[in-house]
A and B are shown apart, each in its own frame.
Chain A
């Protein structure tokens, strides 16, 4: 069997032959090239080719799922039998309505597949990694690389179900990150993290990552301790994504809402944050990391407003949770690979930018800290966060005073959303498909020895 869509359609037909009421095949093929940088040298390079199929069957409202890392006809047949057997031993789910029905799918957003990126040879990828590596060396001899990875992906998917959905898509992506440290006179700086992620080669520069990571590492030399206090904290896009928007994503997930795991279950139409905050899930964003014209169940992607000037507007649904709440799926079913069932996820989470530059934001801080990396825990359901502020600096009277060490922060994301002072102007794509500017928040616990 050659094409993914043939494999997916074959799986649906085979499952129906076995007596399934409904069936779905999700086939995926991926080629990945990765270059690992470790302790200042190219540590290893690898290429991965993987393909496989995940099969969902429903019989008498009982669900079965099985997968296999092959598209070979004989194995696909066997996988259908496995899925069917699991359905037969599963208890009935009285909430089951149906797999999604076919709907008109919007045109593929621009910039999801880059021919040039897809055709990079392992050698090309290696040269790109070396550019990043050399950029670090060029900045300052005190800086070295602790860790880093360049990954280039080319992925194809196909979905078919027994209601007539039959869709194919493809995408490319490249991501690069570096962790650098600077050493001077027996002092080791805090570990500086910098990254870039993109669908296309356009604007993807490993060199820029190397330069920024090295500069960040240098900036944290000479770190000092401070006393504990409660104050303003300027969260970098990464930290804002993790600390503030992790709990937001969990709370707008319809599955969590239905299971009583969301504190926002009955808050549609209510104020959940400062009015400066607007949050949109946009599955059709051109060049978007999480964009596609359809989701992992074949439902059309769309744009969904979640928080509009501080007011909670919508939740994110897949077809199962939408059926359960008697509403429409928002096209937010996702799968990490053919080996997993679909579950609700953001596509691209867009935070509306404000008007102030980073410098302007800093100039407004009376007493607080800037944090560029967070090493800690965020309890998505309760919103509690607690962890070490890495790559952090102390700010007083609008000026950066010195880098910090052994400093922790703690608070509650739901309270912090109400205590946003200002949202910055310059939005960036984080590794988690969250597009956010830096965000200034007040009344956060800053803890030190």
Chain B
């Protein structure tokens, strides 16, 4: 059984006015029961004895009734039952601070963004604090309490000029206390978004085609997560993803080492234990181009005959844990961004990430906000961004340089259920298809 209490505080300002301040509490419990190799799951927000008993009954009846149609009988790898207490390391615990000061912060940022240029037409700037208390207990005797605090913010800016419109977005945050808003102020992120929006609004969309590109560090995390990471989730590997049967094989340039780390300091996806009570770890997926291993739950660990890696995560008490990434990144090497641009000679520097999707054969797409033409190793004019696409493993094989400008960002990934993840990496050189004009 798991229990959760999620306290949310968020403030959103749009164009000089507080759009919303939300203060909320979501509390609930769920049970998951494994009977004769079949799972059943139920959740409720009504926490009293009657409903908790109904919860157990519902899970039991689901597990039993679906048993005959399941092709696979579930067995789970053993995990030592831990009794432990974990809390996000924080300098400024939001429970002990006055959250209303955040309202001022956002209002001032909004004002500054609007005064940056007359072409800034509209803004939406927000700061949020999500304070989770998670309880885990299982029939082996595990009793784990974790308090995970995430503070984050986002700025979306719309610029308008001569009947044209362009939108940009930047984010900040981490698994930290309110100090994250001092270390990486929303003001700076918002101004960066504003500058980009104003810069690209008069420009054309980047011409479509297959190019040599430098992916800015902020986009490389998307590549690591979206294009590669998902194919290394053991449930997808089992279903026949690109990486199935490729352990020990070289599938990417030897400049590529890809990690999924459950313990990355202040990472958005960091947890001491996953939602099955398994301790998390630093899992090496690709080591210098060679596939090393996958991300596992207790169920897939047993299937694959390996130890579980602590990747079973649930968005809330309303969801059963499934295999999810935590903080996924490509390790940095030694080149500067300037050196990478020089090395490409002809192509584009792609900047500023957006949403993405991937199929488990490694075909991916994600959006970039801006493309800057590279000519003779120098940066030339800017274009509006577009979607980029390719096969992750072709793209990783064609990596010709990896930078040292490592950056870690916050993200929310959707795989049937959403979850908080960290994504990171350095800038790098590769080739891909740009869906431009």
The chain A residues found within 8 Å of chain B, CB to CB, are 36, 38-52, 63-70, 75, 79, 82-83, 85-86, 89-91, 93, 95, 122-123, 126, 130, 133, 146-147, 149, 183, 188, 190-191, 228, 259-261, 263, 339-341, 375-377, 379, 381-382, 384, 386-388, 406, 408-411, 445, 447-449
With A126-B65, A376-B435 known, 19 other A-B pairs at CB within 8 A are A38-B235, A41-B72, A42-B70, A44-B39, A48-B318, A51-B45, A66-B24, A69-B45, A89-B103, A90-B18, A122-B58, A188-B361, A190-B359, A228-B209, A261-B122, A382-B165, A386-B387, A388-B365, A408-B389
B41→A50 contact, CB < 8 A: no
Q: Which residue in A40, A48, A388 is a CB contact (below 8 Å) of B389?
A: A388
Q: How far is the CA of A371 from the CA of B425 in the complex (A)?
A: 34
Nearest CB in chain A: distance from B309 CB, A: 19
Count B-side interface residues using an 8 Å CB cutoff. Answer: 76
Sampled A-B contacts (8; CB under 8 Å): A50-B43, A149-B416, A339-B24, A381-B158, A410-B437, A411-B437, A447-B208, A447-B435
Q: Contacts A91-B18, A384-B205, A386-B436: A261 and B45 contacting too (C-beta < 8 A)?
A: no
Closest to B160 in A: A260
The chain B residues found within 8 Å of chain A, CB to CB, are 8, 14-15, 17-18, 20-28, 39-46, 51, 58, 61-62, 65-66, 69-72, 100, 103, 107, 121-122, 158, 160, 163-167, 205, 208-210, 235-236, 238-240, 318-320, 354-355, 357, 359-361, 363, 365, 367, 384, 386-387, 389, 391, 416, 433-437
Closest to A35 in B: B66
B236→A387 contact, CB < 8 A: no
Q: Contacts A386-B435, A410-B436: A42 and B319 contacting too (C-beta < 8 A)?
A: no
A381→B167 contact, CB < 8 A: yes
Tell me which residues across on chain A come within 8 A of B387, comparing CB atoms: 376-377, 386-388, 408, 410
Q: How far is the CA of A183 from the CA of B239 in the complex (A)?
A: 12
Tell me which residues across on chain B come within 8 A of A339, comparing CB atoms: 8, 22, 24, 26
Closest to A32 in B: B318
Tell me which residues across on chain B come within 8 A of A341, comparing CB atoms: 20, 22
Tell me which residues across on chain B come within 8 A of A65, comparing CB atoms: 20-23
B235→A39 contact, CB < 8 A: yes
Tell me which residues across on chain A come within 8 A of B46, comparing CB atoms: 49, 51, 70
Tell me which residues across on chain B come within 8 A of A445, comparing CB atoms: 208, 435-437
Q: How far is the CA of A404 from the CA of B337 in the complex (A)?
A: 36
A191→B359 contact, CB < 8 A: yes
A375→B40 contact, CB < 8 A: no
A66→B18 contact, CB < 8 A: no
Q: How far is the CA of A90 from the CA of B102 in the complex (A)?
A: 11
Tell me which residues across on chain A come within 8 A of B58, comparing CB atoms: 47, 122
B386→A386 contact, CB < 8 A: yes
Q: Contacts A46-B319, A69-B26: A228 and B208 contacting too (C-beta < 8 A)?
A: yes
Q: Which residue in A67, A122, A126 is a CB contact (below 8 Å) of B69?
A: A126
Q: How far is the CA of A43 from the CA of B320 in the complex (A)?
A: 11
Nearest CB in chain A: distance from B121 CB, A: 4
Tell me which residues across on chain A come within 8 A of B71, comparing CB atoms: 40-41
Tell me which residues across on chain A come within 8 A of B122, comparing CB atoms: 259-261
Q: How far is the CA of A277 from the CA of B46 in the complex (A)?
A: 48
Q: How far is the CA of A223 from the CA of B25 in the complex (A)?
A: 50
Nearest CB in chain A: distance from B410 CB, A: 20
Tell me which residues across on chain B come within 8 A of A379, comparing CB atoms: 167
Q: Contacts A69-B25, A93-B18, A122-B65: A406 and B43 contacting too (C-beta < 8 A)?
A: no
Tell me which residues across on chain A come within 8 A of B165, comparing CB atoms: 261, 263, 381-382
Q: Which residue in B62, B167, B416 is a CB contact (below 8 Å) of A122?
A: B62
Q: Which residue in B66, B167, B318 is a CB contact (below 8 Å) of A42?
A: B66
Q: How far is the CA of A293 from the CA of B307 in the complex (A)?
A: 55
Closest to A31 in B: B44
A82→B23 contact, CB < 8 A: yes
Nearest CB in chain B: distance from A305 CB, A: 25
Q: How far is the CA of A66 from the CA of B209 in the complex (A)?
A: 49
Q: Contacts A48-B43, A65-B22, A377-B367: A408 and B62 contacting too (C-beta < 8 A)?
A: no
Q: Which residue in B160, B167, B320, B435 is a CB contact (below 8 Å) of A410?
A: B435
Q: Which residue in A50, A146, A149, A447 is a CB contact (below 8 Å) of B318?
A: A50
A50→B28 contact, CB < 8 A: yes
Tell me which residues across on chain B come within 8 A of A39, comparing CB atoms: 235-236, 238-240
Tell me which residues across on chain A come within 8 A of B319, comparing CB atoms: 46
Q: How far is the CA of A50 from the CA of B46 in the complex (A)?
A: 7
Q: Which residue in A44, A70, A375, A382 is a CB contact (below 8 Å) of B27?
A: A70
For B14, B21, B51, the residue with the greatest tally of chain A CB atoms inside 10 Å of its CB is: B21
Q: How far is the CA of A105 from the CA of B221 in the complex (A)?
A: 50
Tell me which residues across on chain A come within 8 A of B320, comparing CB atoms: 44, 46
Nearest CB in chain B: distance from A183 CB, A: 8
